[in-house]
């Protein structure tokens, strides 16, 4: 089972062929409360007889070791050996968590990703990052482990509401801003009014693959993919601890991109005109995330735990112009606080 990525409306027969291999033992499908009813029926005809289903609750708050234990218990109770294959059917929570749980069960069993959200199709399921949240911090525990295959069927996007679609779109925009200025110019007038997502998904996946291939363990170039995530993860993590105020990952990343574009301008890397273009476009798609001015310091403090940091230095990915990301840019907590205050003052 080689690591390959298939994109398009006819990819599930490829999954069926892969799972029919004599080298495949038990097949366990990981779903959440949404994908078990909305997506599993589409996948079922391509699964082998005797597959098992493990359902985890829906939502970022369940991306935990406790949910992993549910999967590990199922695998253990049914004597799944090292020939088992875990099929992760869902968005970023399912693909991250299922991949992590598979990667450590019996020191690693194979898993395949069948991403059902735009966010998972263009980002979370591609690149070999797996993990869970811990003590309130995003992806605090995890491993690098490539999936045996990724099967991206745009038809699953028909199961999403507009908010979930927008959340995934944030990662598409991120790819344009760090490495494809032409795509940003070409697509910003279209927004999410897209008839066929296949070309956009293919373009986004190809861009991420090119970066990951050069730096699979995120020691350098791959850090570009974290644009918007230093502030975004801090904001997402903070609000996750505030019941009723949780935001989707892409919504937090969109806010993070505004803040980190401002930091880029603040440091003389990005022109005022480019900052305005980024803000205008992002606010045309995403609603502004609401928080109290006095919370900015507490939100910024979450950036201390960012995985890109070196010791006490907070390393951020910024923009040296639209389409040109630069990584390992040192920022201070005070600068992140200023960026959040800037965001807070913007109309919206």
- Given 60, 146, 171, 260, which residue is catalytic? 171
In this structure, what token pair is assigned to residue 230?
């230093």
Q: Decide if 220 contacts 249 (C-beta within 8 A).
A: no
The total of other beta-carbon atoms located within 10 Å of residue 140's CB is 14
Instruction: Examine the residue annotation and report whether 166 is marked as an active-site residue of this protein.
Output: no
- Given 218, 251, 260, 279, which residue is catalytic? 218
Pick from 265, 208, 257, 212: which is nearest to 232 by CA? 257
Instruction: Examine the residue annotation and report whether 245 is marked as an active-site residue of this protein.
Output: no
DSSP, collapsed to helix, strand or coil, labels residue 33 as coil
Q: Write out the H or E segment, with its range, that includes residue 203.
A: helix 198-214
- Measure Cα distances from 32 to 29, 38, 98, 212 in Å: 10, 10, 11, 28
Instruction: Examine the residue annotation and report whether 129 is marked as an active-site residue of this protein.
Output: yes
Instruction: Examine the residue annotation and report whether 171 is marked as an active-site residue of this protein.
Output: yes
Instruction: Examine the residue annotation and report whether 218 is marked as an active-site residue of this protein.
Output: yes
Query: Sheet containing 110-115: which strands, arranged edge to edge?
Result: 5-7, 149-152, 110-115, 85-90, 27-32, 52-56
Instruction: Examine the residue annotation and report whether 138 is marked as an active-site residue of this protein.
Output: no
Q: Which residues contact 341 (CB under 8 A, 6 or more apart)?
A: 293, 296
- Given 10, 77, 79, 107, which residue is catalytic? 107
Question: Whole-angstrom Cα distance, residue 136 to residue 123?
Answer: 22
- Given 63, 138, 233, 308, which residue is catalytic? 233
In this structure, what token pair is assigned to residue 45?
């005809």
- Given 129, 138, 166, 175, which residue is catalytic? 129
Instruction: Examine the residue annotation and report whether 274 is marked as an active-site residue of this protein.
Output: no
Instruction: Examine the residue annotation and report whether 287 is marked as an active-site residue of this protein.
Output: no
Instruction: Examine the residue annotation and report whether 17 is marked as an active-site residue of this protein.
Output: no
Instruction: Examine the residue annotation and report whether 38 is marked as an active-site residue of this protein.
Output: no
Q: In a 10 Å sphere around its CB, with 0-12 CB exposed, 13-18 middle and 19+ buried, how is residue 21 labelled?
A: exposed
- Given 138, 174, 175, 249, which residue is catalytic? 249
The total of other beta-carbon atoms located within 10 Å of residue 59's CB is 14
DSSP, collapsed to helix, strand or coil, labels residue 129 as strand
In this structure, what token pair is assigned to residue 240?
């996750």
Catalytically active residues, by annotation: 107, 129, 171, 208, 218, 222, 226, 229, 233, 249
């Amino acid at each position: 089972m080689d690591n390959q990525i298939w994109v398009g409306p006819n990819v599930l027969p490829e999954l069926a062929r892969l799972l029919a291999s004599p080298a495949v033992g038990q097949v366990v499908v990981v779903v959440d409360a949404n994908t078990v009813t909305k997506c599993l029926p589409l996948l079922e005809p391509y699964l082998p007889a005797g597959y098992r289903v493990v359902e985890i609750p829906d939502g970022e708050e369940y991306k935990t070791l406790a949910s992993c234990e549910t999967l590990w218990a199922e695998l253990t109770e049914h004597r799944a050996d090292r020939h088992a294959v875990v099929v992760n059917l869902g968005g970023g929570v399912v693909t991250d968590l299922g991949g992590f749980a598979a990667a450590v069960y019996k020191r690693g069993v194979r898993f395949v990703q069948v991403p059902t959200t735009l966010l998972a199709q263009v980002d979370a399921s591609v690149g070999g990052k797996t993990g869970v949240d811990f003590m309130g911090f995003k992806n605090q525990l995890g491993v690098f482990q490539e999936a045996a295959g990724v099967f991206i069927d745009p038809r699953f996007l028909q199961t999403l509401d507009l908010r979930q679609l927008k959340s995934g779109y944030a990662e598409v925009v991120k790819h344009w801003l760090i490495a494809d200025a032409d795509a940003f110019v070409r697509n910003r007038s279209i927004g999410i009014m897209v008839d066929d997502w296949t070309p956009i998904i293919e373009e986004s996946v190809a861009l991420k693959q090119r970066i990951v291939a050069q730096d699979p363990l995120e020691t350098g170039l791959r850090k570009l993919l974290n644009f918007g995530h230093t502030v975004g993860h801090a904001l997402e993590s903070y609000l996750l601890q505030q019941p009723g105020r949780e935001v989707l990952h892409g919504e937090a990343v969109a806010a993070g991109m505004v803040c980190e574009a401002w930091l880029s301008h603040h440091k003389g890397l990005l022109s005022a005109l480019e900052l305005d273009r980024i803000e205008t476009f992002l606010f045309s798609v995403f609603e502004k995330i609401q928080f109290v001015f006095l919370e900015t310091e507490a939100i910024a403090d979450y950036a201390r735990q960012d995985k890109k940091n070196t010791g006490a230095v907070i390393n951020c990915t910024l923009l040296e112009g639209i389409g040109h990301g630069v990584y390992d840019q040192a920022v201070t907590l005070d600068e992140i606080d200023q960026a959040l205050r800037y965001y807070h003052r913007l109309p919206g």
